[in-house]
């Protein structure tokens, strides 16, 4: 059978089939409803729904200060990120040590670029989200919202982005202007794709 005939036949068959049947047969599931799975309850969702967006959506109640943050940092963060937030390289530490959190402003357009929270991160809320989900490395998820707000206040103040007296909470944190907020642009490589095949 020639390929033209095959295509014509396929088109005829497809035209004769209701779309849902075709979808089911090809496994594309276009709009088909299946009775599998169970509704996710409010409690199911709340247990995991901890992400935080730049506009502050997802930030929990609570607040934190530089002073409290300094203490928590010393106890739980300094061993990997350094007493002065300068970063540590040590093969004996998880991931070979933690990156520097401050410094590096003005280096991004040089061969000795240094990407830190201070010099590179575009959103303060990302810091809250990331510490909440992934830090400290050996006990991720163990920090309470007040502790995370405090750590964020400490790191941002050490990076000279906020003042030591500023309290961080769901209202103040999204308003923090990060130095490199406008340092990013969308993928502009050749042949930007809208369709992916």
- Catalog residues that contact other proteins under the rule CB under 8 A: 24, 27-34, 36-40, 44-45, 48-49, 51, 53-55, 91, 94-96, 108-111, 113, 115, 117, 120-123, 125-126, 129-130, 133-134, 137, 140-141, 183-191, 193-197
CB of 52 to other proteins, least distance (A): 8
Asked if residues 81 and 87 have their Cβ atoms less than 8 Å apart, the reply is yes
CB of 171 to other proteins, least distance (A): 19
CB of 75 to other proteins, least distance (A): 20
CB of 139 to other proteins, least distance (A): 9
- Using CA atoms, how far residue 91 sits from 55, 80, 85, 96, in Å, is 38, 11, 18, 4
In terms of CB distance, is 74 or 183 closer to other proteins? 183
Q: Give 48's DSSP letter.
A: H
3-state secondary structure of 30: coil
For residue 136, cis peptide bond before it (omega within 30 degrees of 0):
yes
In terms of CB distance, is 17 or 108 closer to other proteins? 108
In terms of CB distance, is 130 or 164 closer to other proteins? 130
In terms of CB distance, is 94 or 165 closer to other proteins? 94
Of the candidates 28, 61, 37, 22, the residue with the CA atom closest to the CA atom of residue 149: 61
- Using CA atoms, how far residue 185 sits from 52, 122, 176, 181, in Å, is 21, 11, 20, 11
CB of 73 to other proteins, least distance (A): 18
């Amino acid at each position: 059978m020639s390929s033209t005939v095959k295509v014509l036949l396929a088109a005829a068959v497809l035209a004769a089939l209701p779309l849902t049947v075709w979808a089911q047969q090809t496994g594309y599931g276009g709009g088909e409803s299946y009775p599998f799975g169970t509704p996710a309850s409010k409690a199911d969702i709340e247990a995991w729904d901890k992400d935080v967006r730049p506009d502050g959506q997802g930030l929990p109640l609570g607040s934190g200060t530089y002073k409290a943050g300094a203490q928590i940092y010393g106890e739980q963060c300094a061993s990997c990120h350094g007493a002065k937030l300068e970063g540590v390289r040590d093969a004996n530490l998880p991931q070979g040590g933690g990156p520097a959190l401050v410094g590096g402003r003005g280096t991004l357009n040089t061969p000795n670029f240094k990407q830190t929270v201070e010099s590179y991160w575009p959103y303060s809320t990302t810091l809250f989200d990331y510490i909440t989900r992934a830090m400290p490395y050996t006990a991720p998820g163990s920090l309470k919202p007040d502790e995370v707000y405090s750590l964020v206040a400490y790191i941002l103040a050490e990076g000279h982005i906020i003042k030591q007296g500023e309290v961080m909470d769901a209202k103040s944190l999204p308003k923090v202007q990060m130095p490199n907020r406008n340092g990013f642009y969308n993928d502009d490589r050749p042949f930007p794709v809208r369709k992916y095949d």
